[in-house]
Amino acid sequence: MQTVKTLDMLRTALAHLRGAGGGDGARIALVPTMGALHEGHLTLVRRARAEADHVVASIFVNPKQFGANEDFGAYPRQLAEDAAMLESEGVALLWAPDAAAMYPSGFATNVSVAGVSEGLCGAARPGHFDGVATVVLKLFNQVSPDIAFFGEKDYQQLAVIRAMARDLDLTRPHPQAIIGVPTVREPDGLAMSSRNRYLSPGERAAAAALPRAMRQAVADMESGTEVAGTLAGLESELLAAGFSSIDYAVLADAASLEPLASLGKQPTRLLVAARIGGTRLIDNMAVVPR
């Protein structure tokens, strides 16, 4: 695996990879990450390997998607360890630019996807999804992948990226080649996240209440319990388990992310963001009307 930190080196390495596939050129998959890798990220890489000739992973802690009072400074950075994990998973190329390579002085463009980015995490984290859309469009243009992999763990992010790809007529990757991968969980159900390492042992134990209470809420709503009461019960359960506040607990249309007051016939999703100690955790699950 080659690690590249400048756009020139990236272009040279990509030309080599594409040429190496023969015929029309090798099929390239992109897995964008912010590093501090865990099994969730590695699952994306394995899916990518199965569907492309070569996998390009990126590691970039994107300053534009962090708010002023968020954890940009504290976000874990462990490039050598991450590179070793990616190499052992068969990644061909690691794109690890620094902020000056991604946003050279004079950088002035912002990509903003209205609608699907506005509620939920968009309301709690102003500017977050502009930062995500801007960097992901840059990564798409830099790497020109045939296919790209994102986790359903960040469900709203996946929806924003899909909307951007559709609205801007992206061809590489084509909107239909933006693949969502189901959330990878710890044995107690907690969704894997680089931020879980912020949790103290007591907070980590209490955090398992999030997926547990969500699973119960999903089961209740699927068997016909009223939505508002179920969501209120879910919030109370999280507070009782040791969460300090709930940013949102919402049943939403799985595509538009518009909140729903009742279960209809369309695919729906339960989405929750809650704080425990100083850490903000997010999770989401499908709700399938019976």
CB of 5 to ligand AMP, least distance (A): 18
Q: Which residues of 123-142 are buried (b: 16+ CB within 10 A; e: fewer)?
A: eebebbbbbbbbbbbbbbeb
Minimum distance, C-beta of residue 186 to ligand AMP, in the bound complex (Å): 9
Nearer to ligand AMP, 134 or 183 (CB): 183
CA 46 vs. chain centroid, Å, equals 16
Min dist. Cβ of residue 256 to ligand AMP (A): 19
**Phi/psi-derived region of residue 97, left when phi > 0, alpha when psi is between -120 and 50, beta in every other case:** beta
CB nearer to ligand AMP: pick between 148 and 263: 148
Q: By C-beta, is 124 or 239 nearer to ligand AMP? A: 124
> What residue ranges in the chain does DSSP mark as E strands?
2-4, 28-33, 54-59, 93-95, 147-151, 178-181, 245-253, 268-276, 279-287
Q: Which CB atom, from 77 or from 229, has the smaller least distance to ligand AMP?
A: 77
**Beta carbons of 269 and 155 less than 8 angstroms apart:** yes
- CA distance linking residue 200 with residue 263, whole number of Å: 37
Q: Catalytic site residues?
A: 41
CB of 67 to ligand AMP, least distance (A): 15
Q: Which residues lie near ligand AMP (CB under 6 A)?
A: 33-34, 40-41, 43-44, 150-151, 153-154, 181, 183-184, 191-194
Terminus-to-terminus CA distance in the chain, angstroms? Answer: 47
Tell me the angle at which helices 128-143 and 7-20 cross, rounded to the nearest 10 degrees.
50
